[in-house]
Chain A
Amino acid sequence: MMGKGFCALFKKDCRMLASGKFFLMAIGFLVLYTAYVNLGYIRFMQMEPYHVYLYDPEGTQTAKSTLVRNVSSMEEMNTALLSDANGVGLDASGRDVQVVLYAGAKHIDRHRADYALSLLCAADDYSPKILGINSPEQKARKEITCELLFFELAAVGFLGIAAVLFKEKGMGVIRVHAILPLRKSEFLLSKLAVFLLSDVVFAVLLTLLNVGLADGAAVLPTVLLQTMILSLIMALVGLLCALLLKDFRQFTLAYLVIAIFAATPVFLSANTSVKFDWIDWHPFYHVYMGLKNAYFGAAISPVYYIGSIGVIMVLFLAVQLAFHREIGKEG
């Protein structure tokens, strides 16, 4: 009996998502993200070493490296530096070599100057020890895929979930359930199942298409586990918002707050060397790091799993409470 009721609910939810063009939108975003990663991001994320320009009319610098570019006059050097403000100019026309550069951050300026000078002396080829397993392109692919998946689940998917639920709430479907001979939790479980399934499929496709087949398949199991955690949390928060807030317009505000204030510091802290002291208190930071560690094959602490299961359970109980309250309004 329970299985049958659940199946019927599941089918109804799927139909509703399909009629709301939810799946179509997910495919559209998948295509968009894939195009962005493969055509734009990978090419954009490149930073060459500083270019070094040398003005040496007498030809005094004989031991210089091949990375040094010769210019024939100071004017040429100035135009080169103006268009390439990170470049460094070396003026060897006087008795001593003079370094010319445009000011940036203090530490980096020192390094640029010393680096440029070091290119004038012959040095044996030294290559640093490589400790990691990813190439720069693999890293870039994993990083952007992780960001896009998080963004899609936390922001875009969340909005879709809420739209569906507000529609049901508006149509009075939730109240109808008060009199249906179905277990109350089945209504919630079928919703969670639909979103979980569509998120998992999305995560599989996004990972395989953008990280690459071999690399993607290797990290897929842990990534899927993290996707499920994130998807459940977002679906439950979406359900809670839909049950507690009056209408969709109120929800868009809650959504904006999440999208801007919750996501920005997380992205900054997790992807750049900008680290905030308080970021450990940010719940989304841990979820995001879980996903990121899954992509990079780093260990994920069991405390995080216990914590997220706890959060999911608490959210589920809260949603159930809100659901019963919503049903109770009728009687």
Chain B
Amino acid sequence: MKGLKYQMKSVLRDKFCLMTFLLPVLVAVALHFMGSIDMSSLGELHFGVLENDLPLQAVTWLERYGPVTAYATLDDLTAAVNEPSTNVIGVRMDGESLKTAIAGDELDIFQQAAATLPTLYEQRNAAEQVEVLTLERPDILESLQGIFIPAVLIVAMFMGCTFNAMNIISEKEDGVAFVNEILPMTPSQYILQKVVVGFLFGSLSSIITAAICFHLSWKNFGIMLALIALSSFVAAMIGLFTGKLSDGLMTGVVYIKIVMLLFLAVPLVCALVGVSGPIAVVCNIVPSQPAFEGIMALSAGNAGAAVKDVGILAVHCITWFALYVLISARRKVQVA
């Protein structure tokens, strides 16, 4: 207990270290308010026209489908169509009908829209009389934010890993690690002290992040708490491994970067591509995958799936802890 007090003391003195833990919280607040940024414009159609080319009623008709920008010259219009970050469709009048121009590098969906636009214009009067039945979308997590928030949570949990790894590396560089070897302390005592600091701060910043971003019922909040606690623990353990394995600051940074990349890439790619079958099971080896899936399941209201992920994380915790104790005990024997 006394050792833990010293660990906390050294952390609290390091203001910058405390601020790293606050960072995910800041991002969460930013994301929370950024909800007002309209991401839905991403898939929208954008049209570019020449000034005084289209009659007003044609422009009004185009505006039903998406924003219309007027350009002064043909060169400006061509440049806007070719601009790689947007999918502007150039529209010009051709007698009574429209003709369109695209850059040719757009996704199929935009190419098809440009190809059918003249036909839509011809049939505009008939189309207005047709009855449209609009249904509510079943999925809640359709926006990009749905993936952003769990990703920030994963980063928050990961902070414990970075912190522990850095802590151990600096202990190694300062020679404290050698002092630790001869202290009257069992390996598990040492692990606990080290893990607890990264774990506490990692889960604290994750809990605050989760509280800002999610509005959960009490039961789901319990599951979320379990997810956060378990994955922060695993992250802190992995931080210990990273610190143990790296023999200097630079190699430490390399390892941390690789771990961070794996932590973020595996769940994001799985979520975006929609991996299933045996690959999805293999992906669970990376502890952030069950954590991410659990959070996604919770925000979709599927508590059953989240409990399964809690189970997987618990297995992770036990495995990593046992592995570490085993390795440390063996080394201690070698030293003795």
Contacts and interface: CB of A to CB of B under 8 A. Distances in A.
Interface stretch (B12-20, B200-208, B326-334): B12-20
A104 to B, nearest CB: 7
Contacts of A11: none
Contacts, number: 226
Interface string A264-275: 000001111110
B41 A273 contact: yes
A25 B119 contact: no
Interface string B187-205: 0000000000000000000
B135 A101 contact: yes
Nearest to B163: A249
B55 interface: no
Contact of B86 (A103, A126, A273): A273
Given A97-B130, A111-B113, A163 B249 contact: yes
Interface string A130-171: 111111101100110000000000001001100110110010
Interface stretch (B217-225, B250-258, B276-284, B293-301): B250-258
Given A111-B65, A127-B115, A167 B81 contact: no
Interface stretch (B97-105, B177-185, B226-234, B236-244): B97-105
Most chain-A Cβ atoms within 10 A of its Cβ — which of B99, B104, B120, B248?
A: B104
Interface in B111-151: 111-120, 123-124, 126-127, 130-139, 142
Contacts of B253: 159-160, 163
Interface in B279-320: none
B42 A273 contact: yes
B27 to A, nearest CB: 6
A85 B170 CA distance: 52
Contact of B111 (A103, A113, A115, A128): A128
B103 A131 contact: yes
Interface in A261-299: 269-274, 292, 296, 298
Interface stretch (A116-124, A190-198, A319-327): A116-124
A110 interface: yes
A31 interface: no
Nearest to A28: B258
Contacts of A166: 249
Interface string B154-173: 00000000100010001001
Nearest to B124: A114
A135 B107 CA distance: 10
Chain A residues touching B, majority SS:
helix
Given A159-B253, A167-B250, A98 B133 contact: yes
Contact of B135 (A103, A129, A270): A103
B87 interface: yes
B82 A132 contact: yes
A135 B117 CA distance: 21
Given A111-B113, A117-B127, A102 B104 contact: no
Given A99-B132, A167-B249, A47 B44 contact: no
A96 interface: yes
B96 interface: no
B104 A131 contact: yes
Interface residues of B, number: 81
Contact of B102 (A45, A126, A128, A256): A128
A208 interface: no
A110 B128 CA distance: 10
A260 interface: yes
Given A170-B173, A256-B23, A102 B40 contact: no
Nearest to B17: A249
Given A50-B109, A102-B137, A134-B105, A273 B20 contact: no
A108 B277 CA distance: 34
Given A103-B134, A103-B135, A103-B137, A273 B106 contact: no
Chain B residues touching A, majority SS:
helix
Nearest to A256: B23
A50 to B, nearest CB: 7
Interface string A43-61: 0111111100000000000
Given A21-B250, A21-B254, A103-B137, A49 B132 contact: no
A90 B111 CA distance: 22
B3 interface: no
Contacts of B44: 105, 107-108, 273
Contacts of A38: none
A186 B40 CA distance: 52
In the complex, the 8 A-B pairs of residues with the closest C-beta atoms, listed nearest first: A132-B103, A139-B105, A20-B250, A49-B112, A130-B104, A129-B101, A134-B105, A128-B100
Given A44-B272, A107-B45, 11 more contacts: A21-B254, A47-B107, A101-B135, A108-B40, A108-B43, A109-B132, A126-B119, A128-B99, A128-B114, A132-B105, A166-B249
Interface of B: 14, 16-17, 19-20, 23, 27, 37-46, 64-66, 78, 81-82, 84-87, 89-90, 99-109, 111-120, 123-124, 126-127, 130-139, 142, 162, 166, 170, 173, 248-251, 253-254, 257-258, 261, 269, 272-273
23 contacts: A21-B251, A22-B254, A40-B273, A45-B107, A46-B107, A49-B112, A97-B130, A99-B130, A102-B138, A104-B137, A111-B64, A117-B127, A128-B99, A128-B114, A129-B90, A129-B102, A142-B84, A143-B84, A170-B173, A249-B14, A260-B27, A273-B41, A274-B42
